[in-house]
Structure 1
């Protein structure tokens, strides 16, 4: 059985812009953002890529025409061979009735209700309805799909199926929390024997979205919502835990059934005014580092308090040992660690597709039927494009007046040469194998550096990434070595940078570049099965330096998608102060100019 999952709408940006004024930073709040495609054959995901990696438009919500084409071409499958096309949104007539009822039951004046009904109706008819989704697919692919082959999957269910599949398909309690699904923002329950049981009383309406509220605070602090929340999370570590939190006192109401209500106006000027009153802020203070740290700490504390409230209800309702956490809020790795350590769960999984790229995988999994995966199966995020030596040489020749290169004879030689470069203050672009899927660079499209260099974070932030100096970096470490360097708590591995751990005291001075200001690190663990090239490099680097990890950050500059092709890598290499570029077996250096 062949299933194609995808996420994205051709007219999303146009309709949200015209009908709801979603332009500028608001473009990242569209339904369908992080457009992607995934292909599943006989129960196994064989290809997946985000549209942004191919179109080079960051966080695009466009129909993923390039991603679909690549997924099919990568395994030699045509659309006529696909059994099901799965889409991770189900705006059914019942959902449409709920949308109408919410507008009619609101406190809006009558004329405003009619206006809202008109705009929502146009959005539904032209973009969200089954007929519109089908028409979009046919027009963009040029393929007359059998309408019965189109499967619309509820958004939160697609999130859950992605996490469940990548965790192996076993029984687990679950929490899904993101900006919005069709009408809700958070659900939780159990997955037993492949059957989903929702705790319906605990569902949270999208008007009380915790992720959206965090995003509004992100915007209030001058960052891009649904894109820069990790900056707020990182800033929070610069201050002490808040003694009292006006967000919990005046914005959040926790209910006995495990749900909650958040009272934040939708209008930008209105919620800026609310936050100014809560935080004693103004336009000048929002530019000040100490003020940003204070507000970030309050926002982070709010997330941790609300999710802890949800877990108390979930653990009372389920006796399962493992928690699956999916949705955009699951990228808050600081909160994730606290959720696990403060709960009765013995294990917690957050997938590399936890945010909206993953719903393309989840929709395909749902349509194909969730299956328990063999214990020997390797779960891999490396599902995107790869390039052979011929493609790489062709790209290098196009830049021959700007770069020189040497081809190493084998993988061991590549690892030794790269370890030699990294042992000093060199920053290396590392490009190997298939591109990672999801928002994190997991060692195939990465910028690597030596964490023993005290000012390496400043070097990379300012000279390479062109971004704020307070931003931390993630260390990558062999899974077997991780407990020796980091306090792992209940976790034995963290392969997707979705948890944060304290750096053991005896290593903080040895790897200062890997330590955030609070002594923690968002680590990536690596083993030989999942990424043999990166594991080999780590062994070579440690043998040469006695430093047990490397710094790993995404191979891109601020505002750009992670590189995908050799040409992308060369463009980024030449536009930054990256010292060397290692593509497959080619070690590349800039020509003296």
Structure 2
């Protein structure tokens, strides 16, 4: 069976801008963001790529024409060969009826109700309804899709199935928590024999979305909501644990069944005033670093407290000792790690596609069915790869600006280690593009973590981003327990957990330590990534340190690079010292025009 899962709408940006003002800072507050496509053949994901990597429009919500076409080309098939196209949103009639009832029964004035009903109707007929989804596919793909070959999959089901597939499990408890789905923002339950059963208890409506609450604080602090929440998480590490959290007193109500209510106004002006009163802030204070640290710490503490509450209730309601945590909020790896350590669960898994890129995989897997016998490994390296001819073609286009040499594997590794130990910043471009929001060693910028100021060098000279932002270390899986306190985890291959750096290594790898002494690590072995593993072994032999700093190969505001041309453009407009692309060692020509 061949299934294509895809996420994205042609009119999402247009309609959300027109109907809800989702532009500028709020441009990602829409449905279909992180557009992508994935191809499942006989139960296994063989190709997946985010539309942004090909279109170069970061976090695009557009219909993923490029991603779908690439997946089909990768497998050598056409649209006629696909059995089902799976879409990770299902606004069924009962969902629409509930939306209409909620608006009609709300406390708004009649005129406001008609306005809201009108906007919801235009969104449904123009984008969300089955007929609109079907028409969008046929128009953009220029293909007469049989309506029976289009499967609409509930959004949270798609999240869960992606996580289950990546973890290789068919039986587990689950928590899915994100900004919004069709009617809920969070659900919990069990996966039994590959079949999802959501509990009635613990479900949370969209009006009480924890992720949306965190997004409002993200915006209040001057960042982009539904995009920069990880910045708030990083900023929170500078704050001491709060003795009293006004958010938990005035904005959150925890219920016995594992659900919760959140009392934060919906409109920007109203919630800015609410936060100013709660945090004793104003427009001037919001620019102050210490104030932002305080608020970020309180927001992070709120997420940790609420998710811990959910997991306590879920742990008491299930016999399973493994928890699957999926949805955008699962990328809050600080909260997730604390959840696991303090819970009754023996294990917790968060996949490389936990946020909305994963729903394309999950929708396809749901239609195809979870494999009875999961493969030994699930790889995030599912996107495009490029051969030497394509690399040489891109290099030739920039021959006035770069020079290069082709080395064998041993020479390339040795030269890269020499550069890294000389405090050089190296861009690393190998194999297939990673899937998901985090670079996992094939489209990465690498550096030596032994230099205390290396984070400042990369943040300011290369990434052009805030100086408080930490970097993640990539470490040999066999050596990780020696450097980091992994708690209940044994490996962390997708940068989805944060661990304390052991005291004896904090002075040895200061560049990898966040201000609170933790690190969001990626563990690597030779089976998962042979090239990166070989580099780590060589670096360890040279320095005694089996880890490197790893950050995504891009600059602020741009997607992670995908192609050799993307890599060269990024390399040439930053102060990255060297580019390793396949077997080519690439340097900037001296005296080139800036």
Cross-structure match for 1:568: 566
Q: Is the 8 A contact 1:235 1:293 kept in 2?
A: yes
Q: 1:377, CA displacement in angstroms?
A: 2.5
Q: Does residue 418 of the first structure (1) align with residue 416 of the second (2)?
A: yes
Deviation at 1:546, TM superposition (A): 1.5
SS in structure 2 opposite 1:28? Answer: coil
Residue deviations 1:428-459 (CA, integer Å, cap 9, x gap):
00000000000000000000000001100000
**Does the CA-based 8 Å contact 1:412-1:536 persist in structure 2?**
no
Count residues with an aligned counterpart.
591
Deviations along 1:236-257, whole A, 9 cap, x unmatched? 1101001001100011001111
Task: Give the match for residue 402 of structure 1.
Answer: 401
Aligned twin of 2:590: 592
- Look up the match of 1:501: 499
**Separation (CA, whole Å) in 1 of partners of 2:318 and 2:501:** 33
Equivalent position of 2:326 in the other structure: 326
Structure 2 length-normalised TM: 0.99
Partner of 1:117: 117
CA contact (8 A) 1:426 1:449 kept: yes
| Secondary structure in structure 2 of the residue aligned to 1:323 | strand
Q: Name the SS for the 1:29 alignment partner.
A: coil
Return the offset for 1:565. Answer: 0.4
Other-structure match for 1:126: 126
1:242-281 to 2 correspondences below 5 Å: 242-281=242-281
How far does residue 117 in structure 1 lie from its aligned partner after superposition?
0.5
Residue 470 (structure 1) aligned with residue 484 (structure 2)? no
Aligned position for 1:550: 548
Structure 1 runs not aligned, ≥5 long: none
- The 3-state SS of whatever aligns with 1:240 is coil
In structure 1, how many angstroms separate the alpha carbons of the residues matched to 2:463 and 2:196? 42
Q: Does 1:451 align with 2:452?
A: no
Q: Is the 8 A contact 1:168 1:372 kept in 2?
A: no
TM-score normalized by structure 1? 0.99
What's the Cα RMSD here?
0.7
Q: CA deviation at 1:413?
A: 2.4
Rounded Cα–Cα distance in structure 2 between residues aligned with 1:265 and 1:34: 26
Partner of 1:14: 14
Task: Assess if the C-alpha contact under 8 Å between 1:448 and 1:552 holds in 2.
Answer: yes
Offset of residue 170 of structure 1: 2.8
SS of 1:189's equivalent in the other structure is strand
- Partner Cα separation in structure 2 for residue 360 and residue 388 of structure 1: 27
Residues 113-133 of structure 1: per-residue CA shift (max 9 Å, x gap): 001101110100110000000
Q: What's the counterpart of residue 60 of structure 1?
A: 60
Quote the offset at 1:181 in angstroms. Answer: 0.1
Q: CA deviation at 1:412?
A: 2.6
Q: How does 1:222-301 map to 2 (within 5 A)?
A: 222-301=222-301
Q: What residue ranges of structure 2 are gaps of 5+ in the alignment?
A: none
2:103 is matched with 103
- Secondary structure at the counterpart of residue 201 of structure 1: coil
1:199 maps to what in 2? 199
| Deviation string, structure 1 residues 487-516 (Cα, Å, up to 9, x no partner) | 010000000000000000000000000000
**Post-superposition offset of 1:196:** 1.7
- Alpha-carbon distance between aligned partners in 2 of 1:591 and 1:263, rounded to the nearest angstrom: 58
Partners of 2:199 and 2:544 lie apart in 1 by 50
Specify the alignment match of 2:384 in structure 1.
385
Secondary structure of the equivalent of 1:48?
strand
Distance 2:221 2:101 in 1: 34
Q: Distance in 2 between matches of 1:23 and 1:442?
A: 31
Contact kept, 8 Å, 1:208 with 1:263, in 2: the verdict is yes
Give the deviation of 1:420 after TM superposition. Answer: 1.3
How far apart, CA to CA, are the structure 1 residues paired with 2:169 and 2:288?
A: 47
Q: Using the alignment, how far apart are the partners of 1:356 and 1:225 within structure 2?
A: 15
**Shift, 1:195, TM fit:** 2.2
Query: d(CA) in 2 for partners of 1:334 and 1:169?
Result: 24
Which position in structure 1 is the counterpart of 2:350? 350
How many angstroms apart in 1 are the aligned matches of 2:387 and 2:293?
46
SS of 1:371 mapped into structure 2: coil
